[in-house]
Amino acid sequence: MTGEMALRDALIARLSTDADLTLILGAGHVHDGAPRSAAHPYLTLESITSRPLASEPDEGMEHQLVLALYSRADSRDEAVKGVMAAAAALFGSGLSLNGWHLADLRAVETSSERLRDGRSWRAALRLRAVTGPED
């Protein structure tokens, strides 16, 4: 399993079981890429970009991730509260990665916007993570 896969699995597992996030979204509303029929609100791992820190991937990887919450509430509040709950879930205690260790995880940026359909909101949390193989 690659560091990217281990990180993705750990993020989805943590977010799917977080009580505060589930209160906002409802159960089963965290996705690794949302299905077309996803009910609002939902949180999705929209993208991951990974690159080696050195010449070899097994020397460590840097990952740029985007978590996005989509909502059809009247205001952006639900979407923003959801990504803040996701951040709290991820930073509250260490993530356990299968075969890898998480050397660093930090928020880089948050944003929110009304989508072109005029009724949906998107709030995003950009993250930077560094993983390395377990010794």
Tell me which residue range forms the domain holding 81. Answer: 3-133
d(CA 31, CA 45): 6
Which pLDDT score is estimated for 35?
84
Q: What is the per-residue pLDDT for 63?
A: 97
Q: Give the pLDDT score at 57.
A: 62
- pLDDT surpassing 90 at residue 5: yes
Note the pLDDT tens digit of each residue in 112-130: 999 999 999 999 999 999 9
What is the number of structural domains in the chain? 1
Task: State the pTM of this model.
Answer: 0.92
Tens of pLDDT, residue by residue over 6-31, are: 999 999 999 999 999 999 999 999 99
For residues 14 and 95, the answer to whether their CB atoms sit within 8 Å is yes
Q: Report the distance separating Cα 60 and Cα 1, nearest Å.
A: 14
pLDDT in tens, 39-96: 999 999 999 999 998 877 677 899 999 999 999 999 999 999 999 999 999 997 789 9
Pairwise pLDDT comparison (73 vs 35), residue with the higher score: 73
Q: What are phi and psi of 91, to 5 degrees?
A: -95, -5
pLDDT at 88: 96
CATH (domain of 69): 3.30.2000.30
Q: What is d(CA 44, CA 78) in angstroms, rounded to the nearest whole number?
A: 15
